[in-house]
Chains A and B, each alone.
Chain A
Amino acid sequence: MTIACVVIASLKRRALLDELVMPSVVAQGFDEVVVVGDFHSGDGWRHLPFASLTGSTIDALFKRDVGTAATSSDWILYLCDDHRIHPDFSKDLLQLMRENTFGPKDVIVPARFCTRGEEKIGLNMGWPGYLGRAYIGGHGGIFPRAAVQDVPWSLAPWSPQWDYLHSRILLERGYNFHYQSASCYIEDVDPNGEPWL
């Protein structure tokens, strides 16, 4: 079993990627790491430039497909550039995969949190979701390659709610979402995420 990490990058978070996100990704020892979007190549990852198509969050759909095509691992972790990976992420993921029989219709959803002062605050990743309809938040997710080949990202409606709608397609095709609550953490580290700044 091999795991690739596809990081979706945007120019405004270049410093965040350099300082927090990429060190956390490289430290995991993934089989492949690619960064798609406005960034640069570096030790431990390949950079794939991507010219903006829509100038909006919808570009992430196409960047994810580029990352999928550029890798070959069995599983793909898609990561938004305002999240870093917990140091134990890979260890947690491998243990989870050892303890469960995940197949091509199973998607693993990381636990998400942010830190405010000394406090760690759990953040929603789409469960139970809107009106009880679950989804996999666009912040991160671990997908079998077969799932993304079955439902490429850009197949989802080109809407700001693309993560919700892509998840609807997967669920209607019989996929299962495995939400983690105490392992496989990703952390929202966007320093500009507070609107009062």
Chain B
Amino acid sequence: MAVIHAEDVAPDTMIHLMESLVSFIVPLPEEFNVMAHRAAFPVPSLREEWDLGNYLSGSTEPWNVEILAALLKASCAKTVLECGGYLGCTSAWLALTLQQMGGGTFHIAELEAERAMACDKRLSELPIKDVTWRVWQDDVFNVIAAQPDDSLDYVWVDDNHEKEHVDREITALIPKMRSKGLILGHDVFGSCDLQEIFVKHGGYALDFPKLGLAGGIGIIQIR
């Protein structure tokens, strides 16, 4: 039986966490709720996540998460990187899918401390014993640089959505990818309009219903 005592706690951490985590709760306009409800309902587990309020504004849309999980399975990936973990909803899906595939290695890059904590906590409570995972609270370019060349099978890009950043990110990722590996990215249509970046790197952009101002999935397969 392990016992944790009060003196183990860093005293100045909690107030900062309180202030920052409360900012996660951003209500969606009603029309987006209705649309997401309709789209998510055929799948019980996604409906549940939606009902629980786990798909907050900024989370990857539930229908897109399903596509990501399907592509992960189709790619037979063993080493996965998620750039931008946010609340860990997509992270949980990817991790559980990896577990279903027999396990693998999963890196999550998340710069903001409170978001990194949310991802870490979420993954730590899942039955993913065959998945070796790590949440890196670090700049995404440091995390990418730390990966060996030809080591990544599957990457989900969903952090800073500025075109210049995503362009640099994909450029940095390509040498790290294995042959036939997939680089996928969020919010390629709408306000972020990242489709041209994916096309520039030899990929394609899929436009799907949005929960906010941007949505869709960009996809690049490494030849």
For A124, the chain B residues whose CB sits under 8 A away are: 124-125
Q: How far is the CB of B43 from chain A (nearest CB, A)?
A: 7
A188, closest chain B residue (CB): B127
B117 contacts A174, CB within 8 Å?
no
Q: Which residues of A contact B8 (CB under 8 A)?
A: 132-134, 171
B74 interface residue per 8 A CB criterion: no
Write the nearest CB–CB distance from A183 to chain B, whole angstroms.
9
Cβ-based interface call for A47 (8 A): no
Neighbouring B residues of A135 by C-beta, 8 Å = 121
Question: Once the chains are docked, how many angstroms separate the CA of A54 from the CA of B121?
Answer: 22
CB distance from A118 to the nearest CB of B (A): 14
A179 to B5, CA, bound (A): 12
Instruction: Evaluate contact between B6 and A175: CB separation under 8 angstroms.
Output: yes
Report yes or no: A123 in contact with B125, Cβ–Cβ below 8 A: yes
Q: Which residue of A lies closest to B52 (CB)?
A: A57
The reply to whether A192 and B117 form a contact with Cβ atoms under 8 Å apart is no
Chain B residues 34 to 51 lying within 8 A of chain A, measured CB to CB, are: 43-48, 51
- With A171-B6, A173-B6 known as contacts, the answer to whether A159 contacts B24 (CB < 8 A) is yes
Contact of B117 among A164, A193, A196 (CB under 8 A): A164
What is the interface of chain A mostly: helix, strand, loop, or mixed? loop
Say yes or no: A171 contacts B9, CB within 8 Å: yes
0/1 string, A107-130, CB within 8 A of B gives 1: 000000010100001011101011
CB pair B14–A169 under 8 Å, yes or no, is yes
The answer on a CB contact under 8 Å between B117 and A127 is no
The count of A-to-B residue pairs whose CB atoms sit within 8 angstroms is 134
Nearest CB of B to A104, in Å? 14
Q: Residue-by-residue, is B69-111 near A (CB-CB < 8 Å gives 1, otherwise 0)?
A: 1000100000000000001000011001100100000000000
- Closest residue on chain A to residue B95 by CB atoms: A195
Please measure, in the bound complex, the distance between the C-alpha atom of A172 and the C-alpha atom of B15, giving whole angstroms.
11
Is B118 touching A58 in the complex (CB atoms < 8 A)?
A: no
B47, A130: Cβ atoms under 8 Å? no
**CB of B137 to closest CB in A, whole Å:** 9
Q: Is the CB of A130 within 8 A of B124?
A: yes
Cβ–Cβ contact B52 & A56, under 8 A? yes
Cβ of A153 under 8 Å from chain B? no
Least Cβ distance of A120 to chain B in Å? 10
Task: Encode contact with A along B15-40: 1 for CB under 8 Å, 0 otherwise.
Answer: 00110011011000000000000000
The residues of B that contact A90 with a CB separation of less than 8 Å are none
Are A160 and B87 interface neighbours, CB within 8 A?
yes
Q: In the assembled complex, which residues on chain B have CB atoms less than 8 Å from the CB atom of A98?
A: none
Question: Which residues of A are found within 8 Å of B125, using beta-carbon distances?
Answer: 123-125, 137, 139
Tell me whether B52 and A161 are in contact (CB under 8 A).
no
Show 22 A/B contacts (Cβ-Cβ < 8 Å), sorted by A.
Answer: A12-B47, A116-B127, A124-B125, A130-B120, A139-B125, A158-B25, A160-B54, A161-B17, A161-B117, A171-B4, A171-B9, A172-B9, A172-B14, A176-B3, A177-B4, A178-B2, A192-B44, A192-B45, A193-B45, A195-B46, A195-B65, A197-B43
Beyond A123-B125, A130-B121, list 12 extra A-B contacts (CB 8 Å).
A12-B47, A57-B52, A58-B25, A133-B8, A157-B18, A157-B21, A159-B24, A165-B17, A175-B6, A194-B45, A196-B97, A196-B100
Interface residues of A (CB under 8 A from B): 10, 12, 54-58, 114, 116, 121, 123-125, 127, 129-135, 137, 139, 157-161, 164-165, 168-169, 171-181, 188, 192-197
